[in-house]
Amino acid sequence: MTDYRYEYGKRWNAKLPRNSIKFLVHRIHCDTPDVKVQEDIRLRCVTSNISTNMHKACMKYALCVHNEQRNLYHDILRGRI
């Protein structure tokens, strides 16, 4: 039985290195294109020997974190925060 964690309104495998992905994505500028973020995370997955069936989930999670950062940045620029 697989253990799951819920975040960003989705269910994620507990084996997903969420904290590592968050750390890496937070170091990328929020206006970086999604394709570049996905490529960076995919390369990290390959070099970290993460199983290939987890690569897609890592990239999806990275985009969720990146979009959250982008929304926060735009809210600050618009004076909402």
Could you write out the DSSP letters of every residue in 39-70?
HHHHHHHHHTT--HHHHHHHHHHHHHHHHHHH
Distance of CA 64 to the CA centre of its chain: 5
Per residue in 31-66, pLDDT (tens digit) is 999 999 999 999 999 999 898 889 999 999 999 999
Distance in angstroms (rounded) separating the CA atoms of residues 12 and 16: 7
Q: What is the pLDDT of residue 36?
A: 96
- Which of the 8 DSSP states describes residue 27? T
| pTM score | 0.88
Per residue in 52-61, pLDDT (tens digit) is 889 999 999 9
Rg of the chain on CA atoms, in Å = 13
Rounded mean pLDDT of 17-40? 94
Distance in angstroms (rounded) separating the CA atoms of residues 2 and 25: 26
